[in-house]
Structure 1
Amino acid sequence: MTGGFDEVVHAPQRLRICAFLDAVTTAEFSAVRDLLGAADSVVSKHLKVLADAGYVAIDKPTGRGRVRTWVGLTPEGRAAYRGHVAALRAIVAE
């Protein structure tokens, strides 16, 4: 759903993830984990929910060295997040 209150985005940790990712193009998984102060498994679970909704793209480029996971909002995710924020503002303004 875009343009209104969104249950997928509304969960506190997912809302924080979306707010962070809205300000950047992509971010490394560890930056998201550190922002939330949560375990890898918790962050992975929330990112999976967002990815399943089509809101987050997850990329694990292969190459030499350690594999790093990068995440970013999709255009649909950015629209859903911004629509959710607008819906929250409308609720508060009532």
Structure 2
Amino acid sequence: MSLKVSVESNLYQLEALMDGTARQLPFALKNAINDTAKDFQRVETSQIMKVFTIRRRTFAKRAVKIKPFATKQKLEAKVSIDPPGGQARAD
């Protein structure tokens, strides 16, 4: 009785797939960070509307800002609350 075993591998295809995945990782992370920042911005704006009496709703909508957004080179985003018109109007 004889047993014949044959193994084939596609290491080149696997390597090409992994190379493409590694190049896409910063782009995917950037999108995930920016989407999370936008979600936080939306929730924070709605929380401001619930807690405070707001006469001009656009004021509250424009107060929660994302700056800067994440890039592939800098994977961080900052969400801040600034009054529309900048710090000059923050009395």
**Normalised-by-shorter TM-score class:** under 0.3
Q: When you count strand as a share of all residues, which structure comes out higher? A: 1
TM-score normalised to structure 1 length:
0.25
Q: Which has the higher contact order (CA 8 A, sep 6+)?
A: 1
TM-score normalised to structure 2 length:
0.25
Structure label with greater radius of gyration: 2
